[in-house]
Amino acid sequence: LFFLAKRINFDLRTRLICFQWKSLDLCIHLTNLLRIFPQLPKDLPFLKRVNQNPKKPTTQFDLSLAIRFENCMEATALSSGLRPLPNPNGYRLPRSCSQRKSLPLARFHSKETPFKKPQGSLAITHHRGLSFKTNVFEQAHHPVAGDLSYDDTSRSNVAEDKIGVLLLNLGGPETLNDVQPFLYNLFADPDIIRLPRPFQFLQGAIAKFISVVRAPKSKEGYAAIGGGSPLRKITDEQADAIRLALQAKNVSADVYVGMRYWFPFTEEAVQQIKKDKITRLVVLPLYPQYSISTTGSSVRVLQDLFRKDPYLARVPVAIIESWYQRRGYVNSMADLIQKELQTFSDPKEVMVFFSAHGVPVSYVENSGDPYQKQMEECIDLIMEELKSRGVQNNHILAYQSRVGPVQWLKPYTDEVLVDLGKHGVKSLLAVPVSFVSEHIETLEEIDMEYRELALESGIENWGRVPALGLTPSFITDLADAVIESLPSAEAMVNPSAGVSEDSESSDAFGYIMKMFFGSVLAFLLLLSPKMFHAFRNHLI
């Protein structure tokens, strides 16, 4: 619009820049939602002219921050020496702006705009996703809580800190009506469905389509286990158990639960953490092995929330990214397996069948996801512990829960079960190694679908190791992990740091794509009948 305005007469140019239309406002919100609103180039003439008057010190414009389109265009007009006209939108313009060619752009930020400059210069990324019950996923700026004071002296001694522990987990629908919106949140996560950069604006539409298509079958699964996932209830119980275990070790801490795709969301937990004025935080994802799609996704959301808040940005945080190698976890898994083997008539002939949640092969080969390597190391550690106890059973690892046409980690659980039956395996003990709580993938997928498939394939004796849940040795080990990580806590975001290197706004290709799609959308809206009518009645 600015370049178009340069080719029309003086008054029309000024009106075009200063007048705001509802259709244009819609364009702004759409482009912001699709993350295609372009960052302005640093070599635009009107930005160079801001400091022409040395007697009038001006505030430098930080291009790393998202700004409202109308504020930028208004500042452009005034910086170009255009006289202002009365505007219907209540902009507070200086009376003498027509005589001033050098004006501080910072003065033209509307008081109503949600885009406020945080402490330091930070790369603000948008979290894409959607909650059907709360509007915390599609906001460009998510207000966590009100301004709170922070006492820097609390960093000096861990004992003087107010300690918080945040448990991160997947989340699950609690009723059948929650299934479709839960699936939407799941597939709207760019760490679950990884689209090429030019097509990332289609994430929401693709998530909507998949969630609608998969919802009927998923509802059948949740109906079979009682109408909803028990994950939230079990995770809350684990949080209470960890808090008591920490108290027994003379560590007072508040324990919070943040779910990635359903209530209570991570955003809600962060609100409570700030409200409680936590001064030292340990983040404990309830995933033993690290993966981009589990721990990585949850931590990314957490980092975005902390980056946007000056108080949280200074809170020391320790993140336990993986803990599959901890002796307490390995011993707890070995205890459960050894106990369950004793239920078979001939324990030595039982095949120990480890079933882990799969991930696409591209995560490992193209994105460097360490999940497969850590999973294999985890199985080796558990089997070494069992062998030290005299348990010499054969074992195998397979991956379950694949979806879509892409290739996932192999071997697949269903194919391995059929193959084991063909090779004469008669007794099998299933071990859900990547799950620490019972949920649909253990209660329905393993206990029902895979058990039925195993029996049909010729396996006569079936057993399944329960998830760790509230196993005392497991809870104690998690409490020990929290205590051990406290001294290493440090601020997640450096307030004085500049824009992050991996910021999409610094990517030339990303900038070109944003400019292209933003231009196309703006052009289409300008051709709409309402916009044409507005131009004809008010500008010509």
- Give the model confidence (pLDDT) of 350-364 as tens digits: 999 999 999 999 999
Q: Which domains does the chain have, with CATH numbers?
A: 2-122+510-538 (no CATH), 152-323+483-491 (3.40.50.1400), 327-467 (3.40.50.1400)
Residue 534 is predicted with a pLDDT of 60
Q: What is the predicted pLDDT for the residue at 437? A: 97
Question: Measured between alpha carbons, how far is 299 from 28 in angstroms, rounded to an integer?
Answer: 29
The answer to whether the CB of 478 falls within 8 A of the CB of 322 is no
Alpha-carbon distance of 16 to 12, in angstroms, equals 6
In 10 A of CB 189, how many CB atoms? 22
Rounded Cα distance between 207 and 191, Å, is 12
Q: What angle do CA 322, 323, 325 make, to 5 degrees?
A: 120
Residues of the chain below pLDDT 70: 1-159, 494-511, 513-514, 522, 524-540
Per DSSP, the three-state class of 384 is: helix
What does the alpha-carbon distance between residue 3 and residue 31 come to, in Å, rounded to a whole number? 19
Q: How many residues does the chain have?
A: 540
The predicted pLDDT at position 60 comes to 40
Q: What is the pLDDT, as a whole number, of residue 159?
A: 60
CA distance 280 to 150: 11
Backbone angles phi, psi at 172, to 5 degrees: -165, 150
CA angle 188, 116, 162 (to 5 degrees): 80
